[in-house]
Chains A and B, each alone.
Chain A
Amino acid sequence: MRLTAEEEAIRAGRRGEPARRALEMQLAVGDFFGAERMVPVTSAHLTGDPESMGEAGLAFVEDLVRQGARFVVPATTNSCNVDFDLYRSLGQPEEVAEKERRLRALITAMGGTLLTSCANYQALGPPAFGESLAWGDTGAVIYANAVCGARSNFEGGPASYAAALTGRVPAYGMHLDACRRGTHLVQVRDQPRCVSDWGALGVFVGRQLTNYWLVPVFSGIEAAPDADALKHLGATLASYGSLAMFHIVGVTPEARTLDEAFGGRPPRETIAVEPGALERTYSSFVPEKPEVDVVVFGTPHLSIEEIRRLAALLDGATVNPRTMLLLTTSAPIKAMADREGRTRVIEAAGGRIAVGVCYYIMSPREMARRHGLRTIVTDSAKLANIIAAYGYNPIFRPTARCVEAAVAGRIPR
């Protein structure tokens, strides 16, 4: 890799041991992917919560802080493991909260911002077109690339910390024009009508394209999607397919035309989304029993619009006493929901809004044991995908059906 004078200085240890170590890791990753240079980034979104990091990851970050690590670009945190107001009543172990406190102190010491959101682009605002980023949450990365036209690879745990310490990343993958162009054409003939339908579309495509280096191009979309629809599509494609980029012709900024989306190359293959495909996608999540143990909204974090919609659906309703209803969002959005009275409506119905957390990193095994949870109903296809590894029976359904399930305590037919 060609390094600038500044990068050579970092490599020589003149910006301290943490930055030197970080750059060495970045060079190894860059070499693997054939990067020829580094590219400066404007921000990092840090992925690493104690649940994901484990004790070894925490010790790694503690070591960085002991050596005087300081972030050189704005660095925000991804979702965390506990909402300190709720974790006890939810049955999360005290030890998890303790680790969360430890990590927060470390990030603050390095100059990071405790945003604790996986939808940083809705909590703080989206990046600009062409901005180079070192973002870690896969759903945030694909949103930044596809919807905003910013540029980021999946900068996983240690990589997002490394980028925050050096202020740069290796230039490969989504930083290069060639990697951002479409590879597969998706002809949509089953129109998505709500945010979870966009998730279902993401499942349908993400199950077929399971490679970071593929880029679907959606055509045939009749109604332009809003930010929440794109959030669900992106997070689902990233989750099922490990994809970091997509285009929607006439909607996303690097796909004004089909030809632009593909960069003049022909698609390698075409995927047809025939009428009924979205319904069949929902039906592929098969309940083992009719009773619903827990209903969760908010992976990625809910926007204020989504909370308003849920509050309207729950207004005057009562959640079945044997069913847990949980919403997850960021602190800024929760504050807005409080101010608008939405929180009151949701709580009156028997739901709770947890701040800064995502369900799958909230000690889901311990919660399942404590509350006897097995069947989880959600309008988040991403959550439905992840939570199966934690011993749950995930049922992905449209938002309104999920609310019905919470109220009835049973999965509606």
Chain B
Amino acid sequence: MTAPLVLTGHPGVGEVVEGEALVSAEGFSARYDLDRSTGTIARESHPLYGRSIAGKVLVCPLAKGGFATSWALLDLKSRRLAPVAMLFGWANPVMVQGAVLAGVALMDRLSPDPVAVIRTGDRVRVDPRAARVEVWPMAVPTTTNAR
């Protein structure tokens, strides 16, 4: 196995988790973007429109919007619709408060910028306490096994 790409920062919240990346060039808010009944992005103009965040490592530049996210993560988790981890350029208080309550791993201010270097489908391991994120790029099909 090849060595992973490593992102470092300052300590985040939550436990060590692994999952598949879901990357957005836009910020995220549970109220502004998400249908919380299904865990899918419901705002039609969002780049992840129609995608489910359940079980994913959600990667985006910013935590947007208001307080609903503080509760939403706990509720989503109880219905198995929460992301396993969230990586932001910058998190805001409501997102961190929600992550702490729900026990969802969260990190921000990572270097290099996760939105720039992680792609949807990559395998990501998040270790908030060690302030470390490891990324294994999604397998790129070669000419022999491509369809």
Contacts and interface: CB of A to CB of B under 8 A. Distances in A.
B92 A57 contact: no
B132 to A, nearest CB: 16
A242 B100 contact: no
A28 B70 CA distance: 14
B94 interface: yes
21 contacts: A25-B101, A28-B13, A31-B11, A32-B91, A32-B100, A32-B106, A54-B75, A54-B78, A56-B75, A56-B77, A57-B71, A136-B67, A138-B67, A156-B69, A158-B71, A242-B65, A386-B31, A388-B45, A389-B32, A389-B34, A389-B42
B134 to A, nearest CB: 21
Interface in A190-243: 210-213, 238-239, 242
A212 B92 contact: yes
A32 B66 contact: no
Interface stretch (A45-53, A265-273, A396-404): A45-53
> Lowest 6 A-B CB distances belong to which pairs?
A156-B70, A54-B75, A156-B94, A212-B92, A156-B67, A56-B78
Nearest to B90: A211
B29 to A, nearest CB: 8
Contact of B97 (A155, A213, A242, A360): A155
Interface string B83-120: 00000001111101110110000100000000000000
Most buried by A among B12, B66, B90: B66
A7 interface: no
Contacts of A212: 63, 90, 92-93
A258 to B, nearest CB: 26
A154 B66 contact: yes
Nearest to B128: A32
A210 B62 CA distance: 7
B78 to A, nearest CB: 4
Interface of A: 25, 28-29, 31-34, 47-48, 52-57, 60, 136-138, 153-160, 173, 210-213, 238-239, 242, 360, 385-386, 388-391
A25 B97 contact: yes
A55 B106 CA distance: 23
Contacts of B12: 32
A56 B43 contact: no
A51 to B, nearest CB: 8
Contacts of A136: 67
B75 A156 contact: no
B18 to A, nearest CB: 21
Contact of B75 (A57, A160, A388): A57
B33 interface: yes
Classify chain B: how many residues form its interface, as a range: 35 or more
Contacts of B11: 31-32
A154 B93 contact: yes
Contacts of A54: 36, 71-72, 74-76, 78
A60 B74 contact: yes
Nearest to A238: B66
Contact of B62 (A29, A48, A242, A388): A242
Contacts of B13: 28-29, 32
A164 to B, nearest CB: 14
B92 A53 contact: no
B99 to A, nearest CB: 9
Given A138-B67, A138-B94, A360-B31, 15 more contacts: A29-B97, A34-B10, A53-B71, A56-B74, A138-B66, A153-B93, A154-B67, A156-B93, A156-B94, A157-B97, A159-B97, A242-B66, A386-B32, A386-B65, A391-B42
A138 B92 CA distance: 12
A139 to B, nearest CB: 8
Contact of B27 (A28, A53, A210): A210
B144 to A, nearest CB: 44
A238 B68 CA distance: 13
Contacts of A155: 67, 93, 97
A245 B32 CA distance: 20
A159 B34 contact: no
A173 B74 contact: no
A398 B33 CA distance: 25
Contact of A53 (B31, B35, B75): B75
A60 B43 contact: no
A133 to B, nearest CB: 13
